[in-house]
Amino acid sequence: MKIDKSFCEEVIAKARQKGIDLIEIYALEGKILSVEVKEQKIEGLESSNIFGYGIRVIIDGRFGFAYSSSKDRVDDILSKAIENTSFVSPDNSLTLPEPSGFYYNVNVFDPLIETIPQDFIIKKALEIEDSAFSTDPRIKKTRKASVTISSLKKTIINSIGINVSYDSTSLIAQIMVVAEDGKESQSAWEFEGSRFLKDLSFKDIGARAAKKAVSLLGSRRLSSRKAAVLFDQPVAAEFLGFLAPSFFGDEITKGKSMLIGKIGQRIFSPLINIIDNGLLDGRLGSRPVDGEGVNSRVNNLVVEGILQGYLHNTYTARRLSSKNTANASRESYTEPPHVSISNLYISPSEKAKPLSLKELMGAEPEVLYVLDVMGMHTANPVTGEFSVGVSGLWIENGEVKFPVKEVMIAGNVIDLFGRLVAVGDDLRFYGPTGSPHLLFRDVDISG
């Protein structure tokens, strides 16, 4: 079964016949294939076809939504969406976006991924794991190695002019490995993702994970102190992901953001910019339009440490008298749009001199190089307070002295980013968030 524009346009026409002026249909179809291997055996293989649509109506400031995976139920689903408006209070900020008249050409579709056979995906998952094992004999097992591909078509049409459809693909590969030496074991994770097959090196994923896990063998405790802390790229990206909801317009309206009232203030080090950019070719968060059909754009959220604004969809922009930043997001046709990131990343500002990893390691007399962080989910998203476990490497005068385990770092994320003193030249993305290495000074470390 296919969803084409003519079907969506018929839904809009039926709503108009019922006297509804504000209606939107969001349709999603495609396929997802995922394989998981362990010790060179297939642990899981899942293939699914996605098909469905969600209908959103706004009547007298009241919102209604319903969805289905059957085209034959469209009359019932439309009636259900209309009926659901009677259960909510009116909100004058509710509306639908108008068309912009143009869309950027952002490259998010790879025909090679669309036609990849199942056997190829299995082979690549096995290749990731085999690469980890062959990198070092101390890699004794993997918790899992997986490859997931998707090919999707999204269509968004509303009653006031939005009419857009686009195809996208994605490929995600990851592995968790375990290194063992005697009774000690250490684990490490690696990830790569893109919308293009050519961007991934499957062997490198396994090798990087193996080298990281092995580097942590022989770990020691560290006494409590204040010291410089260097975040590996995935750790920096995880902290950025923790910070991300504070930029969301719906979190601002709920009073749940640590950034409320701080526009125009220097909240972080002047050495960094934070950017949300949906127009990067090949990135997993890229798209020509957001979940409401608004053309994607570049949003400079933080420039030289100064907060410039928040992220919005149509509703939050109107509610807060701001500009729509094209950040309406939908993970599925089963949900109405909410605010989220496209590609959110940290980059050096014009005031920074980006450094190599070697230069960052030697930039302070003593550095805790954090390779993994545990317990980020316990951090407070409203106040920014965190206390998390970390593992990594202790470095003195640029030389690795020993690996470190069972230590904590604590503080406030805004204060932490204010202590940033150097930025790497090596931006990497982990899903839709990305960062180079980041070096902070005077961080509280508890042994």
Contact between 354 and 425 under an 8 Å Cβ cutoff? The reply is yes
Percent with pLDDT over 90 in the chain = 95
Interatomic CA distance for residues 285 and 59, integer angstroms: 32
Structure confidence by residue, pLDDT tens digits, 341-364: 999 999 999 999 999 999 999 999
* Predicted local confidence at residue 42, as pLDDT: 95
Interatomic CA distance for residues 51 and 195, integer angstroms: 21
pLDDT band at 276 (very low <50, low <70, confident <90, very high): very high
Confirm whether 146 is domain-assigned. Answer: yes
Q: Nearest to residue 432, comparing CAs of 246, 253, 170, 198?
A: 170
Same domain, 182 and 258: no
* Predicted local confidence at residue 159, as pLDDT: 96
Q: Which domain holds residue 405?
A: 225-446
Same domain, 201 and 234: no
The whole-model pTM stands at: 0.96
Final residue of a structural domain among 215, 249, 279:
215
pLDDT band at 1 (very low <50, low <70, confident <90, very high): low
Q: What is the CATH number of the domain that holds 157?
A: 3.30.2290.10
Helix pair 74-84, 5-17: axis angle to 10 deg:
50
Q: Nearest to residue 9, comparing CAs of 163, 154, 152, 153?
A: 163
Structure confidence by residue, pLDDT tens digits, 137-150: 999 999 999 999 99
Same domain, 188 and 242: no
* Predicted local confidence at residue 113, as pLDDT: 95
Confirm whether 349 is domain-assigned. Answer: yes
Same domain, 102 and 76: yes
**How many domains does one find in the chain?**
2
Same domain, 259 and 388: yes
Structure confidence by residue, pLDDT tens digits, 96-131: 999 987 788 999 999 999 999 999 999 999 999 999
